[in-house]
Amino acid sequence: MANEPSFFERLTGGTRNEDAPPQPKQVNFAENAAPPQDDQPAAQRVPVTSSEKHEQWMEEAQEGQLTIDVYQTDTDIVIKSTVAGVKPEDLDIAITNDMVTIRGRRERDEEVSQDRYFYQECYWGPFSRSVILPADIDAEKADASMHNGILTIRLPKVEKEQTKKIKVKPIP
């Protein structure tokens, strides 16, 4: 049990620091679970190796996350992102009054075998990012443009209604 990697180590592929305090004992609740009742079919259990778990996790996380800057002006909320190598027609931007979702795909322009790479840091494939906006915006007046690989989305803020005082009239 002492040599078994922790959840975090399995997730990141890291190793345990020997100077770190010992991890608490992990309890496998499945061992103490009641056996299935006769009237209910038992679930089929198939052992999965750690490399298969890693492959399954990687398949689920195939979509890259887009990096963004979000700031405000007096009238707009502005979202900027580097989308170099992405054509405008390969971008999909969905806007509601309180959230923006940007999806796209960066295609490789040539195939290079893995053994030819010295460094491979660029992300190729689908990506997305959803942003909860800090203020309500007018989605109908939103504007998106792209210049030199920088996507800029301008989202006009909804003007806040000002408090208005009214007098109460007596009814005769």
Provide the residue ranges of all domains of the chain, joining segments of one domain with +.
7-60, 64-109+121-156
Reading the chain (172 residues) residue by residue, the pLDDT tens digits are 556 777 667 766 666 665 555 555 555 545 445 555 555 444 555 555 555 555 555 554 577 888 999 999 999 999 999 998 899 999 999 998 789 999 999 888 888 898 999 988 888 889 999 999 999 899 999 999 999 999 999 999 987 766 677 888 888 8
H/E run at residue 103: strand 99-106
From the CA atom positions of the chain, what is the Rg in Å? 26
For residues 55 and 64, give the distance between their C-alpha atoms in angstroms, rounded to a whole number: 16
158 residue type, one letter:
V
Q: How many helices (H) and strands (E) does the chain have?
A: 2, 8
CATH topology of domain 64-109+121-156: Immunoglobulin-like (2.60.40)
Specify the pairing of strand 64-65 against strand 150-156. Answer: unpaired
Confirm whether pTM is higher than 0.85: no
For residues 133 and 138, give the distance between their C-alpha atoms in angstroms, rounded to a whole number: 12
